């Protein structure tokens, strides 16, 4: 094929492509894999029962089902869903949001593709604009979104070692500066892959920095407040005219409907709607209609706070105990789990690269993600990147326990092999 630069880039190898390929291959190969690599949310019976009720309500409500599947929404998304969201944000948080401040995407990934390429890449004056990532590791899906690389200005965090063999990343503000090349600042909260939740002070400092430089602060809130609110620490939801807040229905338990939400000022929403009209005419209607009554009744908030968050909070503590028991006597740090659905495991001095560990684990039927994929735009040599892996604890508990045991076996084998050759 004679491909353009754009075609070659997007059709080539990428971390997110490897992740999705592994997920697809595991389901079609007939081989039994323990799926500890993906970001699929847990199947929570109480949550699934509520979605099933929503589906029945759609089917039983006159011709609502036919309208949902048979009518295009506008490029901005389903108007009734947007109005319900705007009202929820006003009443629950006091945000000055109207329908003009909300845009619906076909999943968060497509939203970030549009946002990053709006604010970064080659500008009309020929200079290259970039997205500032003030702290990495960051979401694997960011890495290859730029049409005109390089689009990321990425920064290492400071690392605080805590009690009970936990550690925590923090933004190193001393090493961050904003020049004319920076088109936006972006953080995820909670962070995928680490479960880190930036403090209110860190977010406020970034917000002020963005405002002073007349650029937006993009907050990826796919796991955060107000839904699904998988946050185990104190974190105040933030939105203002200079913030672009990105939400999702996926981690609520609806990854298959591919529905993302962007909350931003009017001119940004208008620009995104224009992009949507070009790329896919309009976002899908099914996800917004399925979640509409949950938003209007505010049940989406109670379901998040009373069912989803407690479920994951119980699961994460059990998973940490399993990996610590299995790794007893060997080097292990766990990033303090403040949110999201992952464990970020650090094996200090790991004798093999985390990518090699990934291959060993894959051969034994356990899928994880090697740490090196979570540092978009970072070229600096930093061994820490190759000593970490991301593991999800959202899957079947028996698979998680067995998978963590196999991870421990392979890490211990690597340490022991080094000892034997020393």
The model's confidence at residue 24, banded by pLDDT at 50, 70 and 90, is low
Domain that holds residue 256: 72-298
DSSP string covering 104-122: EESSHHHHHHHHHHHHSEE
Structure tokens at 91: 């009443």
Residue 19, pLDDT > 60, answer: no
Same domain flag for 374 and 405: yes
Residue 220: give its domain's CATH number: 3.40.640.10
Question: Would you give the distance in Å from CA 106 to the centre of its chain?
Answer: 15
For residues 151 and 183, what is the distance between their CA atoms, to the nearest angstrom? 10
Q: Report pLDDT digits (tens) over 341-356.
A: 999 999 999 999 999 9
Same domain flag for 276 and 371: no
Same domain flag for 294 and 349: no
Q: What is the pTM of this model?
A: 0.92
Same domain flag for 106 and 32: no
Mean pLDDT over each residue of the chain, to the nearest integer: 92
The model's confidence at residue 400, banded by pLDDT at 50, 70 and 90, is very high
For residues 204 and 185, what is the distance between their CA atoms, to the nearest angstrom? 13
Same domain flag for 100 and 239: yes
Does residue 104 belong to any structural domain of this protein? Answer: yes
Residue 296, pLDDT > 80, answer: yes
For residues 90 and 142, what is the distance between their CA atoms, to the nearest angstrom? 30
Does residue 64 belong to any structural domain of this protein? Answer: no
Question: Would you give the distance in Å from CA 109 to the centre of its chain?
Answer: 9
Q: What is the reported pLDDT for 25?
A: 57
Place of tokens 């209607």: 285
Residue 37: give its domain's CATH number: 3.90.1150.10
End-to-end CA distance of the chain: give it in Å, rounded. 50
The residues pairing with 158 across neighbouring beta strands, listed in sequence order, are: 170
Q: Report pLDDT digits (tens) over 264-292.
A: 999 999 999 998 888 888 899 999 999 99
Q: What is the reported pLDDT for 14?
A: 56
Q: Which of 245, 274, 298 is the last residue of a domain?
A: 298
Task: Give me the percent of the chain exceeding a pLDDT of 90.
Answer: 82
Beta strand 260-263 with 243-248 is antiparallel
Same domain flag for 293 and 405: no
Q: Which of 282, 298, 314 is the last residue of a domain?
A: 298
Does residue 58 belong to any structural domain of this protein? Answer: no
Same domain flag for 232 and 358: no
Contact 82, 269 (CB under 8 A): no
Q: Report pLDDT digits (tens) over 85-117.
A: 999 999 999 999 999 999 999 998 999 999 999
Alpha-helix runs per DSSP H in 219-304: 266-280, 286-297, 299-303
For residues 220 and 203, what is the distance between their CA atoms, to the nearest angstrom? 12
For residues 239 and 357, what is the distance between their CA atoms, to the nearest angstrom? 40
Same domain flag for 162 and 268: yes
The model's confidence at residue 22, banded by pLDDT at 50, 70 and 90, is low
Q: What is the reported pLDDT for 76?
A: 95
- State mean pLDDT over 10-18: 60
- State mean pLDDT over 228-241: 94
Same domain flag for 250 and 274: yes
Does residue 238 belong to any structural domain of this protein? Answer: yes
Contact 102, 85 (CB under 8 A): yes
Q: Which of 268, 298, 328 is the last residue of a domain?
A: 298
* Max Cα distance, the chain (Å): 74
Same domain flag for 184 and 121: yes
The model's confidence at residue 18, banded by pLDDT at 50, 70 and 90, is low
The 10 Å Cβ neighbour count of residue 415 is 18
Does residue 56 belong to any structural domain of this protein? Answer: no
The residue among 400, 228, 245, 236 whose CA lies nearest residue 301 is 228
For residues 87 and 96, what is the distance between their CA atoms, to the nearest angstrom? 9
Does residue 215 belong to any structural domain of this protein? Answer: yes
| 3-state class (DSSP) for residue 323 | helix
The residue among 156, 186, 191, 161 whose CA lies nearest residue 171 is 156
CA dihedral 114, 116, 122, 125 (to 10 degrees): 90
- State mean pLDDT over 187-209: 97
For residues 395 and 399, what is the distance between their CA atoms, to the nearest angstrom? 7
Task: Please tell me the total count of domains within the chain.
Answer: 2
Q: What is the reported pLDDT for 295?
A: 98
Same domain flag for 242 and 351: no
Same domain flag for 288 and 408: no
The residues pairing with 152 across neighbouring beta strands, listed in sequence order, are: 131
Residue 335, pLDDT > 70, answer: yes
Does residue 248 belong to any structural domain of this protein? Answer: yes
């Amino acid at each position: 094929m004679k491909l353009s630069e754009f075609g070659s880039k997007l059709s080539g190898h990428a971390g997110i492509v490897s992740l999705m390929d592994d997920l697809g291959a595991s389901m079609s190969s007939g081989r039994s894999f323990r799926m500890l690599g993906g970001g699929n949310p847990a199947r929570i019976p109480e949550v699934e029962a509520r979605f099933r009720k929503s589906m029945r309500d759609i089917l039983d409500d006159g011709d609502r089902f036919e309208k949902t599947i048979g009518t295009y929404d506008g490029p901005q998304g389903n108007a009734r869903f947007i109005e319900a969201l705007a009202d929820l944000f006003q009443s629950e948080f006091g945000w000055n949001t109207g329908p003009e401040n909300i845009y619906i995407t076909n999943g968060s990934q497509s939203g970030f593709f549009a946002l990053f390429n709006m604010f970064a890449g080659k500008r009309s004056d020929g200079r290259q604009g970039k997205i500032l990532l003030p702290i990495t590791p960051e979401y694997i899906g960011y890495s290859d979104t730029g049409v005109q690389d390089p689009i990321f200005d990425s920064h290492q965090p400071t690392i605080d070692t805590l009690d009970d063999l936990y550690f925590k990343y923090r933004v190193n503000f001393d090493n961050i500066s904003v020049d004319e090349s920076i088109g936006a600042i972006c953080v995820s909260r909670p962070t995928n892959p680490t479960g880190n939740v930036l403090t209110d002070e860190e977010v406020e400092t970034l917000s002020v920095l963005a405002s002073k430089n007349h650029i937006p602060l993009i907050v990826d809130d796919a796991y955060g407040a107000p839904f699904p609110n998988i946050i185990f620490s104190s974190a105040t939801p933030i939105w203002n005219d200079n913030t672009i807040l990105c939400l999702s229905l996926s981690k609520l338990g609806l990854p298959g409907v591919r529905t993302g939400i962007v909350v931003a000022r009017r001119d940004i929403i208008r620009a995104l709607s224009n992009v949507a009209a070009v790329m896919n005419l309009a976002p899908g209607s099914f996800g917004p209609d399925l979640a509409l009554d949950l938003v209007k009744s505010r049940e989406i908030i109670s379901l998040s706070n009373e069912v989803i968050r407690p479920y994951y909070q119980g699961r994460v503590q059990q998973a940490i105990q399993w990996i610590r028991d299995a790794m007893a006597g060997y080097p292990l740090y766990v990033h303090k789990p403040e949110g999201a659905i992952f464990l970020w495991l650090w094996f200090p001095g790991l004798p093999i690269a985390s990518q090699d560990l990934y291959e060993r684990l894959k051969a034994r039927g356990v899928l994880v993600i090697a740490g090196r994929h979570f540092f978009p735009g970072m070229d600096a040599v930093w061994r820490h990147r190759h000593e970490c892996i991301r593991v999800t604890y959202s899957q079947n508990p028996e698979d998680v326990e067995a998978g963590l045991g196999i991870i421990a076996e392979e890490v211990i084998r690597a340490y022991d092999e080094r000892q034997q050759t020393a």
